[in-house]
Structure 1
Amino acid sequence: MGVTVPFKQVDVFTEKPFKGNPVAVINFLNIDESEVTQEELQTIANWTNLSETTFLFKPSSDKYDYKLRIFTPNNELPFAGHPTIGSCKAFLQFTKNTTATSLIQECGAGAIPLVITEGVISFKAAMADYEGISTEVIAGYEHAIGLKFIAAPALLHTGPEWIVALVEDAETCFDANPNFPMLAEQTKQNNHAGIILAGHKRNASIKNSFEMRAFAPVMSVNEDPVCGSGSVALARYLQELYKFEETTKITISQGGRLQRDGHIVASIVKEADGSNSYHVAGHAITVVDGKITL
């Protein structure tokens, strides 16, 4: 392309540098989206070799503040959680916006409302659809994970297609050692992104606290350090399992097995019409700030 554009790498779901989940964010706000090919974007994402790389473009209408395109090293995603929060942080810095309290992101999953409160960025999930799976598929995942699940897992459509499964407790979740080639084959056969594994923290001082892990070897990410769309999937799954009757916060820790220290708050919000909406909140800090030439 022969242009130089601003670039940031943002660490998400942490207040400590290098302890969250990084996302590369490239500022194409001053470039017409039609001037960039899918192949060029994918090549950049493959080069950064992070779980996700995002590209900020001008939105298609003034209903939105910006358009976000999200890529893994291998493919484009309609939505992902930690890239949404990290890209919001980068957008505010790119545009020198220090006063915004809310934004609307345009992406493949539609409009994503964002709220900024005292340094914490939260998004409202565009989708959180629940679907049961067969006993045969469940058995395949138990075999790949090497554990028995304590409740029937389910498929959650949150942008990525996540299987969510619970194990006995947080320690069991933390200690799990999946067979990644087997898990990749299982997810490929069923057209799933991967599996969200979680276990309840038995002695936690905060109610509804969980250890969570996200495995997606079919997308060349054996384990995602801290996963936003996965936390939406977990919250929706827990709502189906426990039928919470009031707004409920799910406190999630993730990344310890990868020497990270990720923290997410997923909220199940009871709307006025009786429906539930799902929100994810976390911190984000910029650790790389520069430019790249394309």
Structure 2
Amino acid sequence: MSLTVPFKQVDVFTEVPFRGNPVAVINFLDTDESEVTQKQLQAIANWTNLSETTFLFKPSNNKCDYKLRIFTPKNELPFAGHPTIGSCKAFLEFTKNTTATSLVQECGVGAIPLTINEGLISFKAALFDFEGISDEVITGYEQSLGLKFIATPALLHTGPEWVVALVEDAETCFNANPNFTVLTQQTKQNNHTGIILAGPKKNAPIRNSYEMRAFPTAENIDEDPVCGSGSVALARYLQELYKFEETTNITISQGGRLGRDGHIVASIIKETDGNTSYHVAGHSITVIDGKITL
């Protein structure tokens, strides 16, 4: 059976085409999910060869606006940040919805609330905890990255399994030159997706503005240009490290080493019930609009 469906490629965490992180979005909103196979979806993701390709389906949860399935070229993910924002942008365009201020996405980790404000799309991350890692593993990562951490790293469960580590400043982060062969071996051996490396910017308020890099080497990707789930992991790590008592916005720049210029706002929000929630916001722009045939 031949099936032709709408397709978009959206550049995320940027307002300038080709400077953010692209995601391919395929519209199956008018197709029953049972009509396509896991093998077909994986083949499409392998063909686009982007870090993630997503598929929009009708939700199975009536409290959600759509269901999102997220694939790397090799496997399906329960959640990822930049595909969530880019797919929301595509959903609004596919459905010609110009007035929505909030939506709910169904995905592998559950229901993800989204807000839309003058083109800025934000998602509320599911609450993921963190855990410590051994000194031996930390030392191994320092050696493969060729630098020293300024605080004890931690493992953050944000869908991907990110190890978050801080260095002295943004320049140290930007200039890091990992041994990717060794780092890939280490992350796979430790069952970690990869490393989120960050350093504070000297000329910005300390603890509030960071250069960040993401090395998802266990996925056979050396560096992700701009990473939403990584920014959640960084915000959660910073909250644990610095114990912010008020709502705090963390501004993150990423992608410069790859010729990109991504910008993320990760918010640590103190709720009225005393809980803390984590939100990631960014702009996005559609750069390809067409159709794909299965």
Structures share a fold, TM > 0.5? yes
AA partner of residue 110 (structure 1): G
Pairing 1:67-216 to 2, within 5 Å after superposition: 67-204=67-204, 208-216=208-216
Name the % identity.
Answer: 81
- Partners of 2:76 and 2:143 lie apart in 1 by 29
- Partners of 2:128 and 2:236 lie apart in 1 by 6
Aligned twin of 1:239: 239
Give the 3-state SS of the residue equivalent to 1:222 in structure 2.
coil
Aligned twin of 1:223: 223
Measured against aligned partners, the alpha-carbon deviations of 1:10-59 in whole angstroms (never above 9, x if no partner) come to 00000100000000000011111112111111111010000000000000
The Cα shift of 1:206 comes to: 8.4
- Partners of 1:73 and 1:102 lie apart in 2 by 30
Give the 3-state SS of the residue equivalent to 1:239 in structure 2.
helix
Q: Does 1:57 align with 2:57?
A: yes
The Cα shift of 1:207 comes to: 6.5
User: Is the CA contact 2:213–2:254 (under 8 Å) kept in the aligned structure 1?
Assistant: yes
The Cα shift of 1:146 comes to: 1.0
- Classify 1:205/1:133 alpha carbon distance in 2 versus 1 (closer, same or farther; 3 Å): closer
- Partners of 1:205 and 1:275 lie apart in 2 by 25
- Partners of 2:61 and 2:95 lie apart in 1 by 18
Structure 2 unpaired stretches of 5+: none
- Partners of 1:58 and 1:32 lie apart in 2 by 8
The Cα shift of 1:88 comes to: 0.1
User: Is the CA contact 2:153–2:166 (under 8 Å) kept in the aligned structure 1?
Assistant: yes
- Partners of 2:247 and 2:218 lie apart in 1 by 34
AA partner of residue 157 (structure 1): H
- Partners of 2:258 and 2:242 lie apart in 1 by 30
- Partners of 1:206 and 1:284 lie apart in 2 by 27
Aligned twin of 1:256: 256
How many residues get paired?
A: 294
Measured against aligned partners, the alpha-carbon deviations of 1:151-190 in whole angstroms (never above 9, x if no partner) come to 0000000110000000110000000011111111111011
- Classify 1:77/1:85 alpha carbon distance in 2 versus 1 (closer, same or farther; 3 Å): same
User: Is the CA contact 1:128–1:232 (under 8 Å) kept in the aligned structure 2?
Assistant: no
User: Is the CA contact 1:23–1:50 (under 8 Å) kept in the aligned structure 2?
Assistant: yes
The Cα shift of 1:82 comes to: 0.2
Aligned twin of 1:19: 19
- Partners of 1:16 and 1:281 lie apart in 2 by 16
Give the 3-state SS of the residue equivalent to 1:173 in structure 2.
helix
Measured against aligned partners, the alpha-carbon deviations of 1:241-291 in whole angstroms (never above 9, x if no partner) come to 000000000000000000000000000000122111000000010000000
TM-score (norm 1): 0.98
User: Is the CA contact 1:128–1:156 (under 8 Å) kept in the aligned structure 2?
Assistant: yes
Measured against aligned partners, the alpha-carbon deviations of 1:202-256 in whole angstroms (never above 9, x if no partner) come to 1126861000000012212210000000000000000000000000000000000
User: Is the CA contact 1:127–1:159 (under 8 Å) kept in the aligned structure 2?
Assistant: no
Give the 3-state SS of the residue equivalent to 1:147 in structure 2.
coil
The Cα shift of 1:61 comes to: 2.6
Aligned twin of 1:292: 292
Structure 1 unpaired stretches of 5+: none
- Partners of 1:206 and 1:261 lie apart in 2 by 21
Give the 3-state SS of the residue equivalent to 1:85 in structure 2.
helix
AA partner of residue 137 (structure 1): V
Give the 3-state SS of the residue equivalent to 2:223 in structure 1.
strand
- Partners of 1:31 and 1:140 lie apart in 2 by 48
Aligned twin of 1:269: 269
